[in-house]
A and B are shown apart, each in its own frame.
Chain A
Amino acid sequence: MIVMKDIYKSFKEKTVLDGINLEVKEGEILALLGPSGAGKTTIINILTKWLEADSGDAEILVGQNEIGIMLDSGGLYTHLSCLENLDLYARIYDLPKTRAMEVLESVGLGDDAKKAASELSRGMFQRLALARAILYSPKVLILDEPTSALDPGTARSVCKLLQEIREGGTTIFLTTHNMDEALKLCDRVALLFEGKIVKQGNPVEICEEYRAMRTVPDLEAVFLELTGVSL
């Protein structure tokens, strides 16, 4: 569903992506793990055609209007209410009038529908961004740090929601720093470091391979062993 072949990208002298090969199959959840500056957002920008790669092919095998995107920041109008933010896209996608409210309730913002986005906490803002991304039931969902500002309880409910969305057949590509989330939620993970994917595969299998299965699987330890840098 998502294919990246030999992607190279440099900004002036600095190589940001150095031969990225990645594939996300239909109905799969893949997490891209890496420290800040590893090139995660650049990958998302290239996938969504917001940025052109220097070389290589990046493709999402569905129409542009079947991709849902949640960015780490931005994408919402702060002076509009939660409902108005979603209504804009509900109208564009020709969805039923009740759909926006339905999605707000699914991310736990039903009671805050009329609140301006500027009045939301960081975690609520992030849930609103997620609501916007899933509003039109996209076939592919691209999420940049979907749970980074959430408290553990809300993060768990968002993960549960993502599982349900995946069960509906949606392919999910996400970036995260949260190892637990990657282990529990994802079918596969790709560890990104200095523009290269240093390892990819099933998270539990990767942990076993690197003997990081102490009492619980530990992707953080694997990353440290592979790169010498902690996430």
Chain B
Amino acid sequence: MLKLSNNTVAVFIKQLTSNIRQPVFLGLAGVWLVMGLVFAFFSDQHVSQYVSMFMVLIVGMQLTGVATSCVTEDRTTMNLRFMGMAGVKPRQYCTGTFAAVFLMAMFICVVYAVVGGYRGTNFFIFLGFTWLASAVSALLGITMGLSKWPWLTTPVGMLLGLAPMIAAMNENMEDIFRFLYTLQIRRVMDYMAIRAEEEIYEHICEYCGEIVMCIKDEAEDVVEILAGRGMMEEAIIVTLINGAIVLGLFIFMHRKYGLNG
């Protein structure tokens, strides 16, 4: 059984309490969810479309910022140094902070999945992808917080959160941003959002001969191709590679700066 040190638990409780007392993260997630419901009410699109859009913003942009602000708060109040003097190891601090941020993200993802109408296998696929992406974002945020340039979190978060929307407008941009995990998550969620309502068929493309995933239109004689069969695999691989890069950066910052920033 995993045994957590007192220090890790103390940091975890503090970060969680801080975020509940200053509910920027949880509050914004709630506001966006309400906005999604309102948009869905006034449009003919399913709520899952809006849920996936806001989920990407939360995971890519908001979560990264929250993780960074947890660290910078401890830096500006000098508590990072006090904790260091009290014997809190950088790894204990980072574990406690990561656990608190990730726990909140997990909770938000579950709420979004339920409200977005994801059921059965879709529910678990949704959670699997969003939790994986949340872990990458939380680690990235902590890494930025430990660095000498925490202000970079805002542009990086904006890039991660907004890239999928920019990519939707331009194919060239999509080719560039497809290496970002947030774009991959968006693609999976878009696919899932449709899948929540429609029956998906595997279909041999008459032009390229490859197996693709598609839905039939009402007349059931025309198929709309949703994605290549390897979409899920690509999304997992890209997210894991992104995660590995962030982990590498984190180890570098952690070793270089510790808790001293």
A67 to B76, alpha carbons, bound, how many Å? 20
A143 to B79, alpha carbons, bound, how many Å? 16
A51-95 residues at the B interface, CB under 8 angstroms: 64-65, 67, 69, 71, 74-77, 79-80, 84, 88-89, 91-94
> Which residues of B are found within 8 Å of A74, using beta-carbon distances?
76-78
A79 to B14, alpha carbons, bound, how many Å? 11
Is the pair A84, B7 in contact by a Cβ cutoff of 8 Å? no
Q: Does B21 contact A (CB under 8 A)?
A: yes
A88-129 residues at the B interface, CB under 8 angstroms: 88-89, 91-94, 116
CB distance from A64 to the nearest CB of B (A): 5
A153 to B73, alpha carbons, bound, how many Å? 33
Q: Does A163 contact B (CB under 8 A)?
A: no
Per-residue CB contact flags for chain B residues 1-23 toward chain A (1 = under 8 Å, else 0) read: 00000110110011001100110
Per-residue CB contact flags for chain A residues 148-180 toward chain B (1 = under 8 Å, else 0) read: 000000000000000000000000000000000
A67 to B83, alpha carbons, bound, how many Å? 12
Known A-B contacts A75-B78, A77-B73, A91-B9; the reply to A48 vs B85 at CB < 8 A is yes
A3 to B84, alpha carbons, bound, how many Å? 22
Of the candidates A69, A75, A77, A136, the one having the most CB atoms from chain B within 10 angstroms of its own CB is A77
Is the pair A67, B85 in contact by a Cβ cutoff of 8 Å? yes
Is the pair A77, B85 in contact by a Cβ cutoff of 8 Å? no
> Which residues of B are found within 8 Å of A75, using beta-carbon distances?
77-79, 82
> Which residues of B are found within 8 Å of A91, using beta-carbon distances?
6-7, 9-10, 13
CB distance from B64 to the nearest CB of A (A): 21
Give the number of residue pairs across the A-B interface with Cβ within 8 Å. Answer: 58
Known A-B contacts A76-B77, A93-B86; the reply to A88 vs B18 at CB < 8 A is no
Is the pair A92, B6 in contact by a Cβ cutoff of 8 Å? yes
B27-79 residues at the A interface, CB under 8 angstroms: 73, 76-79
B78-113 residues at the A interface, CB under 8 angstroms: 78-79, 81-88
Is the pair B6, A71 in contact by a Cβ cutoff of 8 Å? no
Is the pair A77, B6 in contact by a Cβ cutoff of 8 Å? no
A91 to B14, alpha carbons, bound, how many Å? 11
> Which A-chain residue is minimally distant from B19 (CB atoms)?
A79
Q: Does A50 contact B (CB under 8 A)?
A: yes
Is the pair A92, B88 in contact by a Cβ cutoff of 8 Å? yes
A82 to B7, alpha carbons, bound, how many Å? 19
Contact partner of B78 (CB less than 8 A), chosen from A65, A71, A84, is: A71
> Which residues of A are found within 8 Å of B81, using beta-carbon distances?
48, 50
> Which residues of A are found within 8 Å of B21, using beta-carbon distances?
79-80, 116
> Which residues of B are found within 8 Å of A48, using beta-carbon distances?
81, 85
A89 to B13, alpha carbons, bound, how many Å? 11
Contact partner of B10 (CB less than 8 A), chosen from A71, A77, A92, is: A92
> Which residues of A are found within 8 Å of B10, using beta-carbon distances?
88-89, 91-92
CB distance from A87 to the nearest CB of B (A): 8
CB distance from B10 to the nearest CB of A (A): 4
Is the pair B7, A79 in contact by a Cβ cutoff of 8 Å? no
Known A-B contacts A80-B17, A91-B13, A94-B6; the reply to A69 vs B82 at CB < 8 A is yes
Is the pair A84, B17 in contact by a Cβ cutoff of 8 Å? yes
A93 to B82, alpha carbons, bound, how many Å? 12
A76 to B21, alpha carbons, bound, how many Å? 15
Is the pair A92, B18 in contact by a Cβ cutoff of 8 Å? no
Contact partner of B14 (CB less than 8 A), chosen from A69, A88, A116, is: A88
Of the candidates B82, B86, B87, the one having the most CB atoms from chain A within 10 angstroms of its own CB is B82
Between A and B, 25 residue pairs with Cβ closer than 8 Å are A64-B84, A64-B85, A64-B87, A65-B85, A65-B87, A67-B85, A69-B85, A75-B77, A75-B78, A77-B73, A77-B77, A79-B22, A80-B18, A84-B14, A84-B17, A88-B10, A89-B82, A89-B86, A91-B6, A92-B86, A92-B87, A92-B88, A93-B86, A94-B6, A136-B86
Beyond A64-B85, A75-B78, 12 additional contacts (C-beta under 8 Å) are: A48-B81, A50-B81, A64-B84, A69-B85, A76-B77, A77-B79, A80-B17, A84-B14, A89-B86, A91-B13, A92-B7, A93-B86
The 6 closest A-B pairs by CB, nearest first: A91-B10, A79-B21, A64-B85, A65-B87, A74-B78, A92-B10
Give A residues with C-beta under 8 Å from B.
48, 50, 64-65, 67, 69, 71, 74-77, 79-80, 84, 88-89, 91-94, 116, 136
